[in-house]
Amino acid sequence: MKLQLFFAVALALVLGASPDASAQRLPPPARLLLTPSTPLPRDGTYIANDRLAFAVDHQGEQVRLRFLDNDEVFYLSSEMAPLGGRVLKYDTGATVMQVTGWGGITLYTVQARGGLPVEFDNDTPNVDAAPVAESEVKAFAAKLAQDLSTAEDLAVGFAADWDRLAQSDELRTLGCDAMRNVAYALKDVAKTTRRSIITDRVHIIRVIQGAKPGVTLKNGILAVTIAPQLGPSARPSSLAIARVLQTGT
């Protein structure tokens, strides 16, 4: 009997188990199940810090973002993050959102560099700004200039090939987006210590077409390049424009 018990224990040890292993066996650790078929972040509207609302959607491979207190639409680049998450960035390279694999979002702003937790609001995003009609392009530009004069005491004018913008939906959308983004950038910089750069050096904003989007400042002209052949994101954001305005180059 003792010999049989000895062989039973020895066999259990060889197999890597104790004589009562069935009673001691623990369940395997739980695993995090991700669903990569859902784009991150999901389309919808969100609220950060109970007051900052924004909308997100996907257009092709790009993520679009619009804060609901203005009309600028940001086209964000997206990079993989650990555990199936994503990191979303502006065209300046600055991070705007981090999204976990299960959909949790942290929003980063100039005022909250450490990040704000975000709550999902509803699944009906409205990202697109109101379109500008063919006959209203010049009036749209004139209103932007008037608003800059009234709100910030800035004397600037907009220049473009108005007839060409009016005749093409793609060019008109990009051109109006570019002019709107310039206006936001000018307002932001006017509130900083760099205001003198724009009051002294920016007199005309010229929208031009080129191979890729960009911004240059020279001889009193802020040239904003749009590239319709590259799609609806091919115009600089207000953040990219403000960066050029702040450096004066």
**Residue 28 pLDDT > 60, yes or no?**
no
pLDDT-based confidence at residue 87 (cuts at 50, 70, 90): very high
Domain boundary (90, 122, 154) is at 122
Total residues found in the chain within this entry: 249
* Closest among 247, 167, 154 to 202, alpha carbons compared: 154
Domain check: are 167 and 223 in the same one?
yes
pLDDT-based confidence at residue 21 (cuts at 50, 70, 90): very low
- Number of domains forming the structure of the chain: 2
Q: What is the predicted pLDDT for the residue at 46?
A: 97
* Closest among 216, 197, 191, 195 to 206, alpha carbons compared: 216
Strands 116-122 and 95-99: unpaired
In a domain, 111, yes or no: yes
**Residue 215 pLDDT > 80, yes or no?**
yes
Domain check: are 152 and 201 in the same one?
yes
Domain check: are 105 and 144 in the same one?
no
Domain check: are 72 and 149 in the same one?
no
Q: What is the predicted pLDDT for the residue at 23?
A: 41
Domain boundary (57, 92, 122) is at 122
Three-state SS at 247: helix
For 74, the domain range is 44-122
Enter the pTM of the model.
Answer: 0.82
Which token pair is 64?
Answer: 């679009």
Which token pair is 152?
Answer: 């910030």
The C-alpha atoms of residue 111 and residue 59 are separated, in whole angstroms, by: 28
In a domain, 161, yes or no: yes
Pick the more confident residue, 160 or 49: 160
In a domain, 2, yes or no: no
Q: What is the predicted pLDDT for the residue at 83?
A: 85
The C-alpha atoms of residue 167 and residue 169 are separated, in whole angstroms, by: 7
Contact indicator for 87, 81 with CB cutoff of 8 Å: yes
**Residue 227 pLDDT > 80, yes or no?**
yes
Domain check: are 167 and 238 in the same one?
yes
Q: What is the predicted pLDDT for the residue at 51?
A: 87
Angle between helices 137-152 and 169-190 (to 10 degrees): 0
In a domain, 61, yes or no: yes
pLDDT in tens, 30-72: 333 444 456 789 999 999 988 899 999 998 888 999 999 999 9
Domain check: are 60 and 161 in the same one?
no
Domain check: are 80 and 184 in the same one?
no
pLDDT-based confidence at residue 119 (cuts at 50, 70, 90): very high
Domain boundary (122, 146, 174) is at 122
Domain check: are 149 and 240 in the same one?
yes
pLDDT in tens, 70-86: 999 999 999 998 888 99
Domain check: are 104 and 185 in the same one?
no
In a domain, 159, yes or no: yes
Q: Rg (Cα) of the chain, in Å, rounded?
A: 28
Pick the more confident residue, 15 or 157: 157
Domain check: are 142 and 239 in the same one?
yes
- Among the residues of the chain, which ranges form H helices? 2-14, 21-24, 137-152, 162-167, 169-190, 195-201, 238-247
Q: Which helix (H) or strand (E) holds 208?
A: strand 204-209
**Residue 1 pLDDT > 90, yes or no?**
no
In a domain, 27, yes or no: no
Cis upstream peptide for 41 (omega within 30°) = yes
Amino acid at 178: A
Question: For 175-179, what is the mean pLDDT?
Answer: 98
Pick the more confident residue, 18 or 130: 130
Residue indicated by tokens 């590259």: 230
The C-alpha atoms of residue 169 and residue 121 are separated, in whole angstroms, by: 32
Strands 95-99 and 62-67: unpaired
Domain check: are 147 and 227 in the same one?
yes
Domain check: are 64 and 117 in the same one?
yes
In a domain, 16, yes or no: no
* Closest among 174, 151, 187, 190 to 233, alpha carbons compared: 174
In a domain, 26, yes or no: no
The C-alpha atoms of residue 177 and residue 168 are separated, in whole angstroms, by: 14
